Chains A and B, each alone.
Chain A
Amino acid sequence: MHSSFTRLQNVFGFFTTVAFVLGAFIAATDLGAPRTPSGIIKTDNVQVVKGRPHYYSPKKEEYAIIRFSLEADLSSLFTWNTKQLFVYVTADWTGPDNANNSAVIWDSIITNPSADHLQNLGPIAMKKLKKSAEGKSIAPERGLLKLKNQKPKYQITHPSGKIAETPDVTLRLHYNVQPWVGLLTWNMDKPFGVWQAMSGGVSDYFTLPALKSKDSKAKDAKDKAGAKSKTKSKKP
């Protein structure tokens, strides 16, 4: 039957089919884009301090503050279907009974210029970000990271509240590619097709230091003459 309704229905049906096929095709092109991520990560200054999970908490826990340096090349992860790259650094250690522990100490959202307008930024930072890749829709150079003595975004602890003197901790660089359409992908242990596993990206083993005692803290404060020496006791 040829009523205007069936015509409308056909047009809509055709539109959705085309849209889905196109989406599937775009998602599939990811598999053909080689990925060669690499990174070098090492710890700088590591401290363990006492703090409270939140302001009113009577409980005191130990928090590790791990400063680190990172040099990474994730530029190959930026393609036309990359909406954003979520880069994060975890501290991993094995506790008693072989319990694996893992906690993010730093992360960053790196958008492709096509997704810059979606970022949650103030007007000035947004202007700067947009200007940094003017006229480009793909910006692989944003995948080149160089951090020196970077302060962690999150101070980490263990549910037991004890974390000082933990042995064999490693820092590990991870990424998560979030596409405009298709599958989300993470860094892999093994290569897959034209995607290579991350080369490097793991720090040497290190041991968390003993708790910073009150005396050493006071001494520190004196050394720095009151300049930003107070340790934050806020929940990370």
Chain B
Amino acid sequence: MKNFLLDYTLKVRLPLIVFTVLAVFVITYYVSYAERNGVGYGPVQPIAYSHKLHAGTMKIDCRYCHSDVDKSRHANVPSASVCMNCHSIARKDKPEIIKLTDYYTKGIPIEWKRIHRIPDFAYFDHSVHVNKGIDCSNCHGNVAEMDVVSQVKDFTMKACLDCHRNPKEVIKNIIPGKENLQINNGPTNCGSCHR
């Protein structure tokens, strides 16, 4: 009797349990891979700013607001004063613009929710990429079509290296006017990002 139960446990139950656990783990790992890396994350922002309207319909260049993207490591989020360049006149009566004006006049900085983030031990330089003619959309997706911006690509080291090793295939869009710049393979030594 005892032997039978032990045999059953070892031969049937244990493998079943191990298989189920493994299967669940593997399935969850792959199904949640993108989500874990933040793909699809598009939080509600304090002001319902639409990239689709500004960058899409009105065709405002990204660099009008993200003006430091070709000068600095960081693509800056514009200060409220930049918004007010237009909105001190344009659409002053709309509720979201009233909210914006309120922030501006009271001098409160707007706390935008962060969407794209790489760990702080990696030093990504926007200016280097943009000055080589690599369009924003290669990493950030077609923001001009997004009402609410969300992350569309992995921001993992693998994603970086895929492109650095094989830029010609990975890079789809080049900034207009910069097509003549030669894009070589990016550096792959540790020090180019970690320092």
A, B from the same assembly:
no
Residues of chain B having any CB pair with chain A under 8 Å: none
Residues of chain A having any CB pair with chain B under 8 Å: none
